[in-house]
Structure 1
Amino acid sequence: MKIFLLSVAALCITLFANSQAEFGIFAGPQMMSARYDISGSKQKTEYKYGFQLGGMMKVPFEGNLYFAPAVFYTMKGYKVTYSKFVYPPDPAAINNDVSLHNFEIAALLQYDFGTNPGHFFIKAGPSIEVQLTGKEKFTKLNGEQVSRNMKFSYADYGRYGANLLGHFGYESATGLTIYAQYTFGVGSVSNTDGGPSIRHRAFGISVGKFFGRKKIVIDTGNKE
């Protein structure tokens, strides 16, 4: 992960000097859940509401292809009902409601469809995230309700995760963007040996804006 972060940071610093680099912000709601497996048995999960907020870059790479890194806060989580007992969260838990506050760094490539100022685009690439804090609420077999902060360690929940991201949207001539996004977790949130496999799933819609775009004015006057 350190190699990934250092590589992205070095590339961003290099591209920062590129006079054609654009910077912007984005935000939007998302539905979040997880692929949850215990010893190969898929558990029943439900979606929760979350959101993301962050900054983005767009740097020309080749033709209609751009490097489009992003750094952002994202709220993730899931609801799960267990058919087997597992730790974490607790050997006697029958369900769990988890909310996570994460910081994510994404190294994306963007392809623009066409050369018009207003155009559709796709983005895709990997991301690394840090689980900053988390809260879990679960019920035990005896009916006891537990609400506590999540514990991150080598034998509990993992502090770091990895995802694949995909975006499809529209970018206007003024730099306004709107896009649908999907997150496919490839790294488990759990570090426990013999514990569950928990991989994030999320989809949503975000709106963003690149700064410094000059308004394009088309002269429709007749030439003599």
Structure 2
Amino acid sequence: MHQKTSLLLAAGLVSLAAPAQKTQYGVFAGAQLTNAHYVLHGRQQKTEAKPGAHFGVMLSIPFENRLVFTPSLYYSLKGFKVALTDTSSLPGVDAVANDITLHSVELAPLFTIYMGKGTARPFVQFGPTVDFAFYGRERLVLNTGRRVERQVHFSNNDYGHITAALLVRLGYETRKGVLFGAHYSHGVGSLNNNDFGPTIKHRIFGVSVGKYLTHR
């Protein structure tokens, strides 16, 4: 159901943009450093960031003046490492550490404000993102010292497929429609669905390069 909703939203954005004569289509890719705000039983756990990547497609739909609607749909590789100070049903009562990697698709209906009137100008981009994690792996360290690697299990009592975040990006667009940007994504929805487990919210810093393929 969640997957169908995400696809319908993406299709709606494309159909909205199709009639617009000034709509631009582009691609982008970049690297990111991903981590998580991890709280277990009221105590923040020590985490370690992991490298990740992202790539996808984007639209640019002018509204008025320097305000532009810039939705994007992209693949995102993210994860983190955590050392646990207490027991929890997620990832397991016998786990003392976890290293998790997630593969996801993100839908980001963002807005862009350009800072100048020229064709080469800086910009600020902001808005929400919805993340759909479709696959993941986790490497657990148990209290016996044994290491276990397994596939991430998504359900109502385990990890959740869908999380949300707020994203801010600072960037620069050249006269040829090439974009350079740096962004921060602040998770507001927890990756954990278990009521007795931890609160896990993504924290992501990234850089990217993009190009409008239909640049005027």
Q: TM-score, normalised by structure 1?
A: 0.91
Alignment correspondent of 2:169: 167
d(CA) in 2 for partners of 1:89 and 1:95? Answer: 9
The structure 1 segments of at least 4 consecutive aligned residues displaced by more than 3 Å after TM superposition are 1-9
Give CA-to-partner distance per residue, 1:107-156, whole Å, 9 cap, x none: 10000001100000011001111101000001111111010000000011
Give CA-to-partner distance per residue, 1:26-65, whole Å, 9 cap, x none: 0011000000001221000011000000001111011100
The alignment covers a number of residue pairs equal to: 214
Question: Could you say if the C-alpha distance between residues 51 and 120 of structure 1 is closer, same or farther in structure 2, counting changes exceeding 3 Å?
Answer: same
Deviation, 1:102, is 0.4
Does the 8 Å CA contact 1:8/1:107 hold for their aligned counterparts?
no
Give CA-to-partner distance per residue, 1:153-173, whole Å, 9 cap, x none: 001110111111111000001
Alignment correspondent of 1:116: 118
Does the 8 Å CA contact 1:32/1:202 hold for their aligned counterparts?
yes
Which residue of 8, 26, 29 maps to 2:28? 26
d(CA) in 1 for partners of 2:62 and 2:138? Answer: 43
Residues 1-224 of structure 1: matches in 2 within 5 Å? 6=8, 9-214=11-216
Which residues of structure 2 form unaligned runs of 5+? none
Q: Name the SS for the 1:94 alignment partner.
A: strand
Does the 8 Å CA contact 1:47/1:79 hold for their aligned counterparts?
yes
Give CA-to-partner distance per residue, 1:55-102, whole Å, 9 cap, x none: 011110111000000000000111000111112111011110000000
Once structures 1 and 2 are overlaid, which stretch shifts more, 11-20 or 189-198? 11-20
Does the 8 Å CA contact 1:111/1:121 hold for their aligned counterparts?
yes
Does the 8 Å CA contact 2:52/2:78 hold for their aligned counterparts?
yes
Does the 8 Å CA contact 1:104/1:130 hold for their aligned counterparts?
yes
Alignment correspondent of 1:217: none
d(CA) in 1 for partners of 2:113 and 2:187? Answer: 22
Question: Could you say if the C-alpha distance between residues 138 and 4 of structure 1 is closer, same or farther in structure 2, counting changes exceeding 3 Å?
Answer: closer
Does the 8 Å CA contact 1:166/1:181 hold for their aligned counterparts?
yes
Write the letter of the residue equivalent to 2:112: Q
d(CA) in 2 for partners of 1:122 and 1:195? Answer: 36
d(CA) in 2 for partners of 1:138 and 1:163? Answer: 26
d(CA) in 2 for partners of 1:142 and 1:100? Answer: 26
Does the 8 Å CA contact 2:131/2:163 hold for their aligned counterparts?
yes
Write the letter of the residue equivalent to 1:30: Q
Alignment correspondent of 1:221: none
Write the letter of the residue equivalent to 2:80: Y
Write the letter of the residue equivalent to 1:103: V
Deviation, 1:200, is 0.5
In our comparison, the structure showing a higher alpha carbon Rg is 1
d(CA) in 2 for partners of 1:205 and 1:156? Answer: 31
Does the 8 Å CA contact 2:26/2:214 hold for their aligned counterparts?
no
